[in-house]
Amino acid sequence: MSTVDPAADPALVRRIVDHALSSRRSVRAFLSTPVERATIEAILAAASRAPSGTNTQPWNVYVLTGAAKAELTRRILDAYDDPAELARHTAEYAYYPTEWRSPFVERRRKVGWDLYSLLGIAKGDKVRMHAQHGRNYAFFDAPVGLMFTIDRVMELGSWLDYGMFLQSVMIAARGHGLDTCPQAAFIDFHRIVMPLIGAPVNEQLVCGMSLGVADPAAIENSLVTEREPVERFTRFLDDPID
């Protein structure tokens, strides 16, 4: 893959990086277009340059394609669609807060209803909501599913490092013309995921991710989530601090 010399054209490099960041989105419908193993390896190699405290590199990645991905999907959906079995599956860590406060609860509700509105899912339609959420476990039909784990000895700092690695994976994917969807939905089913991917007992599931070519005709992929302007979440401190 060709590279651009930042010294030769820094404006071009800036535009490329900005485009990769701004065009990253959570895609919820993929084409069946295969992704070559060499491309996946190139994405992960680029992402491995993500920073980590004292270079601990706390990430482990399991790549699922073909029959392995299909089997994981089948096993999880069997549990997900069985209310009694579903009740036995819980996450090992809390991804979301136990108490929702403003403005977070409003943002969460808005993105949910924006998606459901595009899909024509009415408020209270639990059957279609259940089915739509279940599409997570089919990786939204992406040809590649990724599972990310971390050693249980690692603490909060390494989870912060992991977030930077995940973002790097998603941005590197954009550089290859691919899209992604990071998925916390899988953590509820860690007791199914971990044995199937062959993860040792000292590892904990962080999340899953779909990887592939976005389906441009899928209405759900037209969703553009809102972002707060910089001035709403940033303070510039120029004057002396008392």
Q: What pLDDT digit, counting tens, does each position of 189-224 carry? A: 999 999 999 999 999 999 999 999 999 999 999 999
Calculate the CA 197 to chain-centre distance.
18
| pLDDT digit string, tens, across residues 53-70 | 999 999 999 999 999 999
In one letter, which amino acid is 167?
A: Q
- The pLDDT of 151-163, averaged and rounded, is 98
The pTM score is 0.95
Calculate the CA 180 to chain-centre distance.
7
Residues 6+ apart with CB under 8 A from 187: 91, 92, 93, 95, 205, 206, 207
What confidence tier does 2 reach under pLDDT thresholds 50, 70, 90?
A: low
List the domains of the chain with CATH numbers.
26-95+136-217 (3.40.109.10)
In one letter, which amino acid is 138?
A: A
- Report which DSSP code applies to 122: P
